[in-house]
Amino acid sequence: MPIYEYECQACGHSKEALQKISDDPLTDCPECGKPELKKKISAAGFRLKGGGWYETDFKSGSKKNVASSGGSKD
């Protein structure tokens, strides 16, 4: 399940919530109680690496292969 970040527009309180993608967004601030909680846009906490289409397609010239550059092999 993804972790979503929220911020209250009324008091500025920040909150993280572990929710299913299908869950409705939170609206009520746990700090001030007002329905001003808004979901923030944040970066994903992972990076896709490997030999998939995203790795090999659309490469041009001298761009390195991410999967073979400096990673440890188990």
Domain locations along the chain: 1-43
pLDDT given at position 36: 95
pLDDT given at position 37: 95
pLDDT given at position 56: 56
Edge to edge, what strands does the sheet with 3-8 contain?
A: 14-18, 3-8, 37-39
Average pLDDT of the chain, as a whole number: 78
pLDDT given at position 2: 84
Euclidean distance between the first and the last CA atom of the chain, given in angstroms as a whole number = 26
pTM, two decimal places: 0.57
Q: Is the pLDDT of residue 13 over 80?
A: yes
Does residue 4 or residue 54 have the better pLDDT? 4
Q: What is the CATH number of domain 1-43?
A: 2.20.28.10
